[in-house]
Amino acid sequence: MDSQTTIRITGLTKSFGDNIAVHDLHLEVRRGELFGLVGPDGAGKTTIMRLLTAVMPPDSGEALVAGYSILREGERIKERIGYMSQRFGLYEDLTVMENIIFYADLYEVPKKERPARIERLLGFSNLTPFKERLAGKLSGGMKQKLGLACALIHTPEVLFLDEPTNGVDPVSRRDFWRILYDLLKEQVTIFVSTAYLDEAERCTRIGLIHKGRLIMTDNPAMIKRSVPLDMVEIWAPDARKAAETARGMAGVKEASAYGNRFHVALAEGGSADAVVAGLKEKGIAVIDHRPVLPSLEDIFISIVRSSG
């Protein structure tokens, strides 16, 4: 593995009974990259995280993380990574500072290096004013930032984050991503999983995963350009019903609702005006419409539907 490749995955497969959670995964992640594993619940994201962090063994295949084999050198990997799982183990009856010190002990961080590291982690996570607060009294967003600080106390080469902003409010999500960008400046490799397509847009490169299979890998802009979709956005009082109606119409490839609007991917020969007229004929009220560029979510839905 060359010095610029931090993660190399070859043929990784994992099943639970008859369910193939990860199917023949091949992937490389470069040093200093923010790689996003993107897919819905049940796609295999958490299983991949647990395989790469040597928490569980694969059925077949191999992966090297920071130069070490997940099959033979799991303990060496754990020394070099930070892993924030969906159920990261904060101790709610300990303060913010006590939690960080606990993880410093766990990772055997030298005592003389701790004060500077802790001060820095508290600073960039904006937790300094709350260092004496019990973890159980923190908001969801602050708990996530504390979890990240604990995962970083030993200065890992690779940071694994399994849906770190799931259930977190939008402001805290934005703050969390700001912290990740600061880490990239220090050449930390970040491997993050998310079901939020808007977060995927923030990654330097993403892998779209569906039912355990990696279906496309590239930077978000290239993925959007690689799947040409003629897209129109339509506003309607009942966007979900309107999208369901549009799916059965001639000239429509796909339709997906987003709140009070929906996106229609036009088939060859289809037109926005024809779709709007067809909806009105079927008694569906339409407020307005406009052509738009397809979102990453539009692309993902299109790829999954076309692959069956």
| Residue at which a domain ends, from 175, 207, 224 | 224
In the chain, alpha helices (H):
45-52, 74-80, 96-106, 114-124, 140-152, 170-184, 197-200, 220-226, 239-247, 272-281, 296-307
pLDDT band for 2, please (50, 70, 90 cuts): low
Residues 77 and 169 in one domain: yes
Residues 134 and 264 in one domain: no
pLDDT in tens, 228-268: 788 899 999 999 999 999 998 999 988 988 888 899 999 88
Between CA 245 and CA 247 the distance in angstroms is 6
Residues 167 and 249 in one domain: no
| Residue at which a domain ends, from 169, 198, 224 | 224
Residues 235 and 201 in one domain: no
**CA neighbor of 84 nearest in space, from 160, 32, 11, 16:** 160
β-pair type (189-194, 158-162): parallel
Q: What is the pLDDT of residue 1?
A: 62
Element (H, E) at 30: strand 19-30
Residue with tokens 């130069």: 67
Residues 267 and 292 in one domain: yes
As a whole number of Å, the CA-based R_g of the chain is: 22
Q: Specify the number of domains making up the chain.
A: 2
CATH number of 143's domain? 3.40.50.300
pLDDT in tens, 73-82: 999 999 999 9
Residues 23 and 61 in one domain: yes
Q: What is the pLDDT of residue 6?
A: 95
Q: What is the pLDDT of residue 227?
A: 75
The one-letter code for the residue type at 214 is: L
Residues 202 and 268 in one domain: no
**CA neighbor of 214 nearest in space, from 23, 30, 6:** 23
Segment 214-235 shows an average pLDDT of 88
Residues 91 and 153 in one domain: yes
| DSSP per residue, 175-205 | HHHHHHHHHHTTT-EEEEEES-HHHHTTSSE
Domain range for 259:
227-307
Angle between helices 140-152 and 114-124 (to 10 degrees): 150
Q: What is the pLDDT of residue 166?
A: 82
**CA neighbor of 100 nearest in space, from 49, 140, 135, 66:** 135
| Residue at which a domain ends, from 194, 224, 254 | 224
Segment 282-294 shows an average pLDDT of 90
CATH number of 286's domain? 3.30.70.100
Residues 73 and 101 in one domain: yes
Residues 186 and 299 in one domain: no
Residues 80 and 213 in one domain: yes
The encoded tokens of residue 96 equal: 């913010």
Residues 174 and 156 in one domain: yes
